[in-house]
Chain A
Amino acid sequence: MRTAASLAVALTALMMTAAHAQVNVKIGVMSDMSGLYADLGGPGSVVAAKMAVDDFNPAAHGLKVDIVSADMLNKPDVGANIARQWFDVDHVDVIVDVPNSGVALAVNEVAREKNKVFLVSGAASSDLTGAKCSPDTIHWTYDTWMLANGTGKALVKTGGDTWFFITADYAFGHALERDTTAVIVANGGKVVGSVNVPLNNADFSSFLLQAQQSKAKIIGLANAGGDTINSIKQGSEFGITAGGQHFAGLLVFVSDVNALGLKVAQGLTLTETWYWDMNDANRAWTKRWQAERAGKFPTMIHAGVYSAITHYLKAVADLKSAADGKAVVAKMKELPTDDPLFGKGTIRADGRKIHPAYLFEVKKPEESKYPGDYYNLRSTIPADEAFRPLKDDNCPLVSAAK
């Protein structure tokens, strides 16, 4: 009798522990919390991550999810350090966001070394799915190839066939100019001139003057952040758009347009993969996001963080483990993606998330009916054309698979 009772107790205990066998998952949101890209990613990415976890309802899938965050200060060494510490000491399983290509490339290597997952939402470098592709990394939201292809091709096709580049004089700017030039030339356009501008240069008047004198129809801005804002602001001062030339912002976000104001930014063409005001699902999500980020608008990077984490958690729930980075990423590539923000999509062998891209034009001030009403949709680039074809990747993962 006693043995039967103790056996029953033991069995019940065993069953209870089995039922409560949870998988612990720790998500690290690494972003620029205080610098140039704080509005592109930053605290907004942490909010998006929390929303993704809440919406997924981890308990129902047997998961327990924690979120930590850190500021990588836009420095590759800081980012690499944090990544190492997170993976080695703090048991973080996945790093998300990182809106800085240099830092992303560094973290990419650390993740590869430690076999942990890296979901890039913020960084632009197409090398992440090219020469530096990794079985532990997925490149979400956008990349330089998509930007060049989207803005460049669309503009050339609609008559903007002569270009002048104002390029930020470092690797990212040069890559952007190179990719866009290839697209322009391939579509019958011509680059009539370009000028390399040192980083952190405040005054663009000299370069804008050169652009004006080149008489190019389109002035391509192969720069980002403060440089882009300055170029456009000063461009409007010098009457660039009044003189018939157009700016093409090769990397512009909603937050930049917000900083510029519509009077100055009107007519600017840009490519993004998500816009808060495009449909009801986006608007509803934005409202929830704004509960914690009052007065700001979510960018495609924030949406990318939400989408990436949602899919990641699905894969982990399926595998019942977050330990093996390669296995989780393989599962993420196997499962098709589906979330309220990006809809249905896929992830390719090289780690590239595929979804459509949109060419937007900034509205005139009188066209804007409410705060945040910034964009007119000019055209949609279907998912299968938006990103660089697999064969052009030079990704070792893809060639190895052949």
Chain B
Amino acid sequence: MAMAVDPALPKLRNGPERSLAAAFAVTLVVFAAAPFVLYPVFLMQALCFALFACAFNLLIGYVGLLSFGHAMFFGWASYVAAHAAKSWGFPPEAALLFATLCAAGLGVVAGGIAIRRQGIYFAMITLALAQMMYFVALRVPFTGGEDGIQNVPRGRLFGVIDLSNDMTMYVFVLVVVLAGFLFIYRIVNSPFGEVLKAIRENELRAVSLGYKTDRYKLVAFVLSATLAGLAGALKALVLHLASLTDVYWTMSGEVVLMTLVGGLGTLFGPVVGAFLIVALENYLASFGQWVLVIQGSIFVVCVLAFRRGMIGELGNALRIKL
């Protein structure tokens, strides 16, 4: 049974294209100006998580599959990219590419196993697989176990642009994340995307119409895994570090939180959610104890009263589909 995330279709106004273009323009301006106001490393970290949340949202918001194991793609791509950049001396674009391909491969294997089931069983299988990958990460020597892979060099992009400068790196990260975001937009607003939404609404009906739903779901799963992997690889380069936190099941829980807060099934929701949660955690670093309680409360409030999430509510109020 798919998750019902769009309780009432908002009455659209101004045509979807124009309002989306406007929202996009606003976002671009904000991000162009942001590094002069806020700390660039924090922004880059939030951008990586934004991409991660968008990738996750592709699966839950548009296909209706709750994966509780996305951390394995994020984390393992992070490790692979870190290792490639540090021990094999890959330039950043090669490290990113290689790590993303690995995540895609992992997605094919995991998807192949998990897609056969729906709902809670799907969630549990993804959780189990992610736990297994966590234990593998713990034991395999190249990941550095509890210490993680540290001192990851950012390298020179295309052999020319030195990424160790935070501002230069920021531009690069912004470009990559925007590209990922646009890619997701393309997927969602395409015939393929329409079939996915049909599967979310009523899978049996889609099957009766002749669509091989399993194949569609698997492709969506692999795309989601690949983009999550890209986010992870990027994060490893930004923070010079890949660690066990990235593969542990609580990371999967975090991305659920980000997407829920931002708004399931909206385009901009996961981005907003990611920024909010990363900012919250940074701000609460000095009150470490309260992070758990606050995160838990946000989950509870969102489920009880705020199911559309921030962007969902905003879109509903403005009558545009964000």
Contacts and interface: CB of A to CB of B under 8 A. Distances in A.
Nearest to B39: A89
B144 interface: yes
A88 to B, nearest CB: 7
B135 A70 contact: no
Contacts of A84: 41
Given A33-B288, A70-B286, A106-B241, A76 B41 contact: no
Contact of B42 (A77, A85, A171): A85
A172 interface: yes
Nearest to B278: A81
Contacts of A382: none
A105 B151 CA distance: 10
B286 A101 contact: no
Nearest to A199: B138
B288 A75 contact: no
Contact of A82 (B243, B285, B287, B291): B285
A77 B239 contact: yes
B245 interface: yes
Interface string A293-312: 00000000000000000000
A81 B146 CA distance: 17
Contacts of A73: 288, 291
A77 B146 contact: no
A266 B245 CA distance: 36
A250 interface: no
Contacts of A171: 144-147
Nearest to A103: B147
A301 B207 CA distance: 64
A33 B284 CA distance: 12
B243 A71 contact: no
B151 A76 contact: no
Given A85-B41, A170-B138, A171-B145, A106 B150 contact: yes
B150 A76 contact: yes
B241 A80 contact: yes
Contacts of B145: 170-171
B189 interface: no
A76 B147 contact: yes
A81 B286 contact: no
B139 interface: yes
A46 to B, nearest CB: 11
Residues of A in contact with B, size category: 20 to 34
B147 A105 contact: yes
A34 interface: yes
B295 interface: no
A150 interface: no
Residues of B in contact with A, size category: 20 to 34
B276 to A, nearest CB: 17
Contact of A76 (B135, B138, B243, B285): B243
Nearest to A109: B151
B151 A71 contact: no
B39 A80 contact: no
Given A84-B41, A198-B135, A199-B138, A76 B288 contact: no
B197 interface: no
B148 A76 contact: yes
Interface in A71-118: 71, 73, 75-78, 80-82, 84-85, 88-89, 101-102, 105-106, 109
A102 B41 contact: no
B240 interface: yes
B224 interface: no
Contact of A172 (B146, B151, B240, B246): B146
A169 interface: yes
Nearest to B281: A78
Contacts of B151: 109
Nearest to A82: B285
Contacts of A198: 135, 138
A81 B41 contact: yes
Contacts of A69: 286
A350 to B, nearest CB: 19
Given A102-B147, A106-B150, A78 B285 contact: yes
B27 interface: no
B252 interface: no
A109 B150 contact: yes
Given A81-B41, A82-B285, A75 B245 contact: yes
B226 interface: no
A199 B289 CA distance: 23
Contacts of B146: 101-102, 170-172
B282 interface: yes
B100 interface: no
B147 A101 contact: yes
A71 B285 contact: yes
Contact of A75 (B42, B150, B243): B243
Contacts of A85: 39, 41-42, 282
A81 B239 contact: yes
Contacts of A89: 39
Interface in A40-76: 68-71, 73, 75-76
9 contacts: A35-B288, A71-B289, A81-B239, A85-B41, A105-B147, A106-B147, A106-B241, A171-B144, A172-B146
Given A70-B286, A102-B148, 5 more contacts: A34-B289, A78-B245, A81-B41, A105-B147, A171-B145
- Lowest 6 CB-CB distances: which A-B pairs, in order? A71-B288, A34-B289, A102-B147, A171-B145, A34-B288, A33-B288
Interface of B: 39, 41-42, 45, 135, 138-139, 144-148, 150-151, 239-241, 243, 245-246, 282, 285-289, 291
